[in-house]
Structure 1
Amino acid sequence: MVLTGALPSVPPMTENTESKSHSPRHKRDLTRRKVVIAGGGAVVAVGVGGTLAAGAFAGEKKQGTAATGEACYQLTSETTEGPYYIDADKIRQDITEDKEGIPLTLRIKVIDSETCKPLRNAAVDIWHCDALGIYSGYESLSTGGGGTPPTDAPSGTPTGTPTGEPPSGAPSGGTGGGVHEEPTDDERYLRGTWRTDKQGFVTFRTIFPGWYRGRCVHIHTKVHVSGTWTDAGYEGGNTCHTGQFFFDEEAVLASAEVEPYSTSTTERTTLTEDTIYDQSGTTGGLLKLKYKKNDIAKGVLATITVGVDPEATNTGT
């Protein structure tokens, strides 16, 4: 993988929810649970023994005594890459360009799900459709609904399924979303790559995504590690995570009352109906959202902790 673009300087972030693990590295637990060695005893991180308290960041669950301060996580679900990925075309934090929509600040913390340590200098990609369900680079193929579909849009999708983006491994519906479509245009809005800081954080500025036929509201992401940041961008390494972030129904319904989302004529797929989201909450990519309940148009803050296996390769294809 090669990411092109000038390497940005990344200012340090003030928030620090890093929790250090003192356990030795061991074989990864197939049940997606981490066992923390706190003092002389082993404590299962999720669901067994002890008191679980809400962490300072989305997806974090702290456990143990105040002295240990251990924090443990589950691996975040892997999903299909989808047909509209373009390999790290823009090295930037603000991916909005001139697209209209509700301002969205997306703050992601990337950690090693076994050691609980933040992953520094990882390259994080995000990409998503605009307020009317259109993807940059694929405007003529997207299945959004801002009134009248493009005249050259196919009756199905790039992979031949009846939904906007097919699920990986689906029993029916073609190739499963891992097949790249060649871009149809030079637009690159709502796409970008940035690197994590020493605490594992990366922040993007974008807009609240819209929806298109067959999918709930979502954002795609990839995490690349073990590569090298150069003046030209990011090179080498492996893609350790390919996933999607999701929005709760209350927020989506609120966004649907705001222009330009309110002009969409596309039938919306709900979170529970979606074929990609695995209904597991934060582990499945469900974002923690903050906004004014009666004025979502002012903007939304979305946060999540993404637990990855940096030694794995998960391309979503």
Structure 2
Amino acid sequence: MTDNKKPQAPQESRELTRRNVVVAGTGAVAAVGLGGAFAANAFAGENGGRRETPAAGESSGESCYRLTSEAVEGPYYIDADKIRRDITEDREGIPLTLALKVIDSETCRPIRNAAVDIWHCDASGVYSGYENQGSGGGGGPAPTGEPPTGTPTGAPPSGGPGGGGGGHQEPTDDTRYLRGTWHTDRHGHVTFKTVFPGWYQGRCVHIHVKVHVDGEWTDAGYEGGHTCHTGQFFFDEESVLASAEVAPYSANTTTRTTLTEDTIYDQSGTQGGLLRLKYDKRHIARGVRGSITVGVDPDETHDGQDAPPQPSASASPSASAS
């Protein structure tokens, strides 16, 4: 049940847990806004802001009522660690503004006060909180000592290239760059500032996302509720190839998995999490703006444990869940 008291505005870097999410008042978020450019691009004003401008080959009805694909959580999620919209910290890379709109896929109405988490690797493929895993879990320190002999016992390790296995791993350090939580405004909008992600073994370039709803917003935080969506956002090949020509991405020598080879992306375009990107194709280093409408079923629970990886022709299964 939602508290009618107006929540106090937080400091953006305040740490919190999933059940103690301190949020800004409605007025503070409205002041941030997404700007007329995104509103015009993402939603047709003639339709009262209810329908997304369809991509080529889509009707407006299809884009409005589709559920966005669920995906596995991956091993590197840290539960609502920081409330902030600018998650860049000290990471170098191409500036990325990520503009999201969260809607009810049944009614197309915006979902307000949803808590949205995003997290992704840096330009070299490293996740904060797991720096000793190296590039996406595949570039950690080499083993030392004599190799084991005899028949192995116990459960197999969940690590490996790309952080495979899908099971959650506890953080190994206190770094928290490229992670953040914020909440949607009354129009369902939320915007993050970050950098264009890099890549690591077995995965294409992507950003993780969770949407939490039905909690109670109070002066103390966010109580109850559930995760109605766990997914990933993806970048088209043209943009990734352009980023690879720019430092520090150009120093990433890890073999890159393409969008069509990826084991998580379901090849369904916007429905599968493919971002709409805007940037100067001659100067991508100046910055990229990505936008997408996320259609969710607020009555369902999808915590990332119920979405098996999609089959793929070439990506390694051990890398399919990060």
TM-score (norm 1): 0.76
Give the residue type in structure 2 aligned to 1:223.
V
Question: What residue number does 1:222 align with?
Answer: 210
The reply to whether residue 185 of structure 1 matches residue 157 of structure 2 is no
Question: What residue number does 1:124 align with?
Answer: 116
Cα distance, 1:276 vs. partner?
A: 0.4
Using the alignment, how far apart are the partners of 1:149 and 1:122 within structure 2? 35
Question: What residue number does 1:209 align with?
Answer: 197
Give the residue type in structure 2 aligned to 1:248.
D
Using the alignment, how far apart are the partners of 2:58 and 2:218 within structure 1? 32
Give the residue type in structure 1 aligned to 2:214.
S
Using the alignment, how far apart are the partners of 1:108 and 1:59 within structure 2? 22
Structure 2 CA distance for partners of 1:123 and 1:95, relative to 1, 3 Å: same
Using the alignment, how far apart are the partners of 1:101 and 1:115 within structure 2? 38
Match of 2:141 among 136, 151, 154: 151
Q: Is the 8 A contact 1:60 1:73 kept in 2?
A: no
Structure 2 CA distance for partners of 1:56 and 1:77, relative to 1, 3 Å: closer
Q: Is the 8 A contact 1:141 1:158 kept in 2?
A: no
- Match of 2:162, SS state, is coil
- Match of 2:83, SS state, is coil
Using the alignment, how far apart are the partners of 1:98 and 1:137 within structure 2? 14
Question: What residue number does 1:39 align with?
Answer: none
Using the alignment, how far apart are the partners of 2:288 and 2:49 within structure 1? 32
Cα distance, 1:265 vs. partner?
A: 1.5
Residues 138-177 of structure 1: pairs in structure 2 closer than 5 A: 138-144=130-136, 149-151=139-141, 159-161=158-160, 163-166=161-164, 175=165, 177=166
Q: Is the 8 A contact 1:20 1:71 kept in 2?
A: no
Q: Is the 8 A contact 2:22 2:222 kept in 1?
A: no
**RMSD of aligned residue pairs (Cα, Å):** 3.0
Using the alignment, how far apart are the partners of 1:187 and 1:76 within structure 2? 30
Give the residue type in structure 2 aligned to 1:274.
D
Using the alignment, how far apart are the partners of 2:107 and 2:263 within structure 1? 31
For residues 157-196 of structure 1, give each alpha carbon's deviation from its aligned partner in whole angstroms, at most 9, with x where no partner exists: 96245x4144xxxxxxxx4x1x210100000000001100
Cα distance, 1:56 vs. partner?
A: 7.5
TM-score (norm 2): 0.75
The reply to whether residue 7 of structure 1 matches residue 23 of structure 2 is yes
Structure 2 CA distance for partners of 1:3 and 1:98, relative to 1, 3 Å: farther
Structure 2 CA distance for partners of 1:86 and 1:189, relative to 1, 3 Å: same
Give the residue type in structure 2 aligned to 1:55.
T
Question: What residue number does 2:279 align with?
Answer: 291
Using the alignment, how far apart are the partners of 2:242 and 2:76 within structure 1? 27
The reply to whether residue 96 of structure 1 matches residue 95 of structure 2 is no
Cα distance, 1:235 vs. partner?
A: 2.5
Question: What residue number does 2:229 align with?
Answer: 241
Q: Is the 8 A contact 1:109 1:202 kept in 2?
A: yes
For residues 232-258 of structure 1, give each alpha carbon's deviation from its aligned partner in whole angstroms, at most 9, with x where no partner exists: 432210100000000000000000011
Mean CA deviation greater in 285-294 or 223-232: 223-232
Structure 2 CA distance for partners of 1:93 and 1:56, relative to 1, 3 Å: farther
For residues 195-218 of structure 1, give each alpha carbon's deviation from its aligned partner in whole angstroms, at most 9, with x where no partner exists: 001111100000000000000000
Identity %: 65
Q: Is the 8 A contact 1:76 1:306 kept in 2?
A: yes
Cα distance, 1:73 vs. partner?
A: 2.7
- Match of 2:193, SS state, is strand
The reply to whether residue 265 of structure 1 matches residue 281 of structure 2 is no
Report how many residues are paired: 266
Structure 2 CA distance for partners of 1:21 and 1:201, relative to 1, 3 Å: closer
Using the alignment, how far apart are the partners of 1:308 and 1:272 within structure 2? 24
Which structure shows the bigger proportion of residues in strand conformation? Answer: 1
Using the alignment, how far apart are the partners of 2:29 and 2:143 within structure 1? 40
Which structure shows the bigger proportion of residues in helix conformation? Answer: 2
Question: What residue number does 2:152 align with?
Answer: none
- Runs (5+) with no aligned partner, structure 2: 1-16, 145-155, 306-322
Using the alignment, how far apart are the partners of 1:311 and 1:212 within structure 2? 35
The reply to whether residue 135 of structure 1 matches residue 127 of structure 2 is yes
Question: What residue number does 1:41 align with?
Answer: none
